[in-house]
Amino acid sequence: MRILLTGATGALGQGLLPALRAHEIVVLPRALEGRTPAGEAGAVLHLAGKKYDSGGSPAEFARANAELTERLLARLESSGFAKPPHFVFFSSMYVYGERSEAPLSEQTQPRPQTPYGLSKLSAEKMIAETCARLKMPFTILRLATVYGTSGDVLSRMESRFRLLPPFVVGDGGQKRSLLSIENLRRVVLAALGNPRWQGLTVNVADPRPYTMLEVVGRAAGVRRVRRVPPGLARLASGFGGWGDQLRRLSESFSLDVTRLLSLNPGPLEILTAARG
């Protein structure tokens, strides 16, 4: 299959490319210059955009995520196609907000709290409307935080905990969904051109969420993790750039992946525990 790919140079793009070797990959530049050969493609994987933690104004997130998606869809429409390609959009769990006590399903009303989440939700709506008009099959993948790529969340936490002993806030029972790059590869290969996935929005995460005790222990490479009282953590959050990290350590945010598992993407791995 010929696949048009945006975001090939980013962490996700680099992480997915090894799984796509059996296909013909056409990398589209961010500027979307030149001809877009949609008429010859079986699928479009749209990964390009501005990352959640990259900083920037609401306008910058809108340009990089929503407006880029709009331009890509316009280019595909103007290029013409004998058979519409399968458009796969890599969205984010942050369209739901930033925290949840219970796992969030695809039926949960999105309530984005950040410019990143707002821009991703705007792109989702644009894709659903445009693809319906063009009769182009589409799939929206709402990804949990991905690990296993360069500079991922676990490696960043590991760097943090070189400065301080590894710790969790409270009892460490807060639950967070994560997604291994290997699991994402399996999901993408299962979804490509598959009619069962078309027209769906799908939460994509590892089969179960992880407690913060598990996440911190795995990132730091240890089994014993200190517990910090929530009050002390709040007091320390204003020092040394730890505010956002401490907030994430103290809150639950997880996805319900019932729909994903019902689509049979193949065996999905679980984050391994620390050995130390």
How much is the pLDDT for 237? 53
Closest CA to 27 of 19, 37, 42: 37
Closest CA to 41 of 99, 88, 8: 88
Tokens coding 62: 């809108």
How much is the pLDDT for 55? 78
What predicted TM-score, i.e. pTM, was given to this entire model?
0.92
How much is the pLDDT for 276? 43
Angle at 119 between CA 115 and CA 123, to 5 degrees: 170
* Cβ count within 10 A of residue 4: 25
**How remote is the C-alpha of 111 from its chain's centroid?**
17
Bridge partner residues of 179 (DSSP): 146
What are the extents of the domains in the chain? 2-144+180-204, 153-175+208-254
How much is the pLDDT for 157? 83
Tokens coding 255: 């996805």
Angle at 134 between CA 128 and CA 139, to 5 degrees: 40
Check whether domain 2-144+180-204 has CATH 2.60.40.1890, yes or no: no
In the chain, which residues have pLDDT < 70? 31, 33-39, 231-249, 273-276
The DSSP annotation for the chain comes to -EEEEE-TTSHHHHHHGGGGTTSEEEEPPTT--S---GGG-SEEEE--S--TTS---HHHHIIIIIIHHHHHHHHHHHH--SS--EEEEEEEGGGS-S--SSPBPTTSPP---SHHHHHHHHHHHHHHHHHHHHT--EEEEEEPEEESSTT-HHHHHHHHTTTS--EEETTS--EE-EEEHHHHHHHHHHHTT-GGGTTEEEEE--SS-EEHHHHHHHHHT-S--EEE-HHHHHHHTTSTT-HHHHHHHHS-B-B--HHHHHT-------PPPP--
Tokens coding 243: 């505010």
> 188 to each of 26, 89, 98, 171, how far by Cα in Å?
16, 11, 25, 36
How much is the pLDDT for 137? 97
pLDDT in tens, 26-56: 999 876 766 666 668 999 999 999 888 777 8
| 193 backbone φψ class: left, alpha, beta (φ>0; ψ -120 to 50) | left
How much is the pLDDT for 52? 80
